[in-house]
Structure 1
């Protein structure tokens, strides 16, 4: 059964392009090792990037958020992280370690399959689930140095199993368990954010009713000219909360603040969490959906899994009255499905789409 969102997004059609992993695998046999012009991004060399180790993301301890003795202090840290950077690292998140190891093994095995086997779950002409690429809307635009597998994971009855790999054989069971684990984590974060925003928790839980969830699994092949390409274009997330898992030890996440790019060094075992557009709007700008991107490595592949926690597709998206409290609303209100269609119908261009939703 197709997901409700995919049915609603029937008008979204992406231009399909060659697998980047397949393209990259040919470089060893090539005499030039020149990256095709369509992947060359002039802005990468021009952007100012702050050296690694010059800053540290706030670290939030989920065990302390649960503990009455420490929760008040930890909630204050959480609110600061969401408001200042829009990103934090989450430790002691409680996700089963065996599930994490299986997730890493299964997605690595999937991306190591021959391209024709991965294309058995390729994105359909119109839709978002499957293997391939999003946000390619013309044959002229610049391309990212990455392949991806995108799946609607929850609610369970909205999964489109046509796009869920059966190789490796454990994939479906593994990602079913992982999706459930992350919904529990997201639920606890929403509870803590409600306390920080000084609103009743059911206000946020009503917005995220049923806790709809999807995952984008990213494969960034090695690139002989990494300084000239982007693994993932600068963007904000069209979700409420994103929980990012680094599958291997290759770093590549960069976030933008004060017109500079900062490289994130992930703590072992941590999830990197960021605020999406939905929560920036719902909090009336108190929380920030920060522009971020991915860069690639010369010799090593990078694999990551972004888990998106989104509002109910029938929800109306706008500043929450309980947060605004009679003050000025800083963002437009619109049905979430209308927002989502706009987000997916355009190429990724930093914060442009978010800025269009602000009330001047």
Structure 2
């Protein structure tokens, strides 16, 4: 696949249009078209305060500036739930090293026990690891998560409406939701390490809300067989759908391949993706779409090396085992052969 330096002209959608009936109808149509044609779009008018946007980048930088031993006190290797810090080069996409460091924060819950813990994905439920040296990190991340969950719910219901479904169709699947936040630092490219910040992939869940440090680039989206740049717009979120939406619409909506590439001379960058996902035991059957949309449904993409499971939790545990084999080896070695082939 070739690479181009041309920036992708992603659609820009204004969520505040949902605040009045006329604007809501226009937004719903724009949302469906943007997702069917691109799988990605910029979102403005989302109501996330500028001050909170600045604070989330600032606290992320303070975390990554901590001495390495402080960060490694919450190393992901200590968590059977795949939560915590991953050092540079500590995560993989399709077997290749991702050149980034990050911390994963999920829903704060007690581990499952008894019969509830029988499923492979049950280990994903549990507490986070928080940095003792930076107590404000938890406060701001929980505020950020709450703000983005509100945005995600509005988008989810608008999507369902745009596809001719009941707006409350997925309420039970998302009660409770299973959000995941990754706070990521991509280091400056020295030319001596791989330029793969994160390798080409599709998100396995429902929807992603990405906030990128203003003025920093690196995200590339696959469009018509080429990799094209998708630079951030100040104050905007970058939104994309995951594979569960592709399954539910039988391929009318497509999860889009994307990656992050670090270029020499551009410095490091902070990125904060928020993944809004359902219960781990949720399944997404095919929806009955209006005839004009169903006629454009081309079926779910197939990849023998990355099959899509009907139950959301199986997709997540597959991804975690492959991305963090060291964690799986320590805590769940029985899953390695099952999901790593």
TM-score by length of 2: 0.79
The residue that corresponds to 2:320 in the other structure is: 344
The residue that corresponds to 2:272 in the other structure is: 305
Q: Which piece of structure 1 moves more, 327-336 or 219-228?
A: 327-336
The residue that corresponds to 2:334 in the other structure is: none
1:71 aligns with 2:46: no
The residue that corresponds to 1:283 in the other structure is: 249
The residue that corresponds to 2:62 in the other structure is: 109
The residue that corresponds to 1:19 in the other structure is: none
- 5+ unaligned residues in a row in structure 2: which ranges? 112-124, 301-307, 325-341
Distance 1:84 1:67 in 2: 25
Whether the 8 Å contact between 1:81 and 1:87 is mirrored in structure 2 is: yes
The residue that corresponds to 2:310 in the other structure is: 334
Q: 1:135 to 1:93 in 2, by over 3 A?
A: same
The residue that corresponds to 1:38 in the other structure is: none
Distance 1:148 1:48 in 2: 28
Matching of residues 26-41 of structure 1 within 5 Å? none
The residue that corresponds to 1:132 in the other structure is: 86
The residue that corresponds to 2:122 in the other structure is: none
Whether the 8 Å contact between 1:194 and 1:201 is mirrored in structure 2 is: yes
The residue that corresponds to 1:273 in the other structure is: 239
Distance 2:253 2:85 in 1: 32
The residue that corresponds to 1:317 in the other structure is: 284
1:191 aligns with 2:180: no
- Aligned equivalent of 2:135, options 152, 160, 169: 169
Task: Please state how far the C-alpha of 1:165 moved relative to its aligned partner.
Answer: 1.9
Task: Please state how far the C-alpha of 1:322 moved relative to its aligned partner.
Answer: 6.5
Q: 1:149 to 1:308 in 2, by over 3 A?
A: same
**Which portions of structure 1, spanning 4 or more consecutive aligned residues, are displaced by more than 3 angstroms?**
133-138, 153-159, 320-333
Distance 2:164 2:55 in 1: 38
1:91-120 Cα shifts (integer Å, max 9, x gaps): 010012222222111111001111111101
The residue that corresponds to 1:160 in the other structure is: 127
The residue that corresponds to 2:206 in the other structure is: 240
Distance 1:109 1:251 in 2: 21
Distance 1:63 1:155 in 2: 32
Q: Which piece of structure 1 moves more, 148-157 or 318-327?
A: 318-327
Distance 2:192 2:42 in 1: 26
Distance 1:99 1:222 in 2: 25
Distance 1:254 1:329 in 2: 24
Whether the 8 Å contact between 1:61 and 1:91 is mirrored in structure 2 is: yes
1:182-221 Cα shifts (integer Å, max 9, x gaps): 0000000011101101100111223323222011111111
Distance 2:72 2:4 in 1: 38
What secondary structure, in the 3-state scheme, does the structure 2 residue paired with 1:233 have? Answer: strand
What secondary structure, in the 3-state scheme, does the structure 1 residue paired with 2:9 have? Answer: coil
What secondary structure, in the 3-state scheme, does the structure 2 residue paired with 1:341 have? Answer: helix
Distance 1:329 1:307 in 2: 28
Q: 1:321 to 1:155 in 2, by over 3 A?
A: farther
Q: 1:330 to 1:208 in 2, by over 3 A?
A: farther
Number of equivalent positions: 298
The residue that corresponds to 1:89 in the other structure is: 42
Distance 1:326 1:251 in 2: 36
- 5+ unaligned residues in a row in structure 1: which ranges? 1-46, 349-360
Task: Please state how far the C-alpha of 1:323 moved relative to its aligned partner.
Answer: 7.3
Whether the 8 Å contact between 2:50 and 2:235 is mirrored in structure 1 is: no
1:48 aligns with 2:48: no
Distance 1:175 1:155 in 2: 16
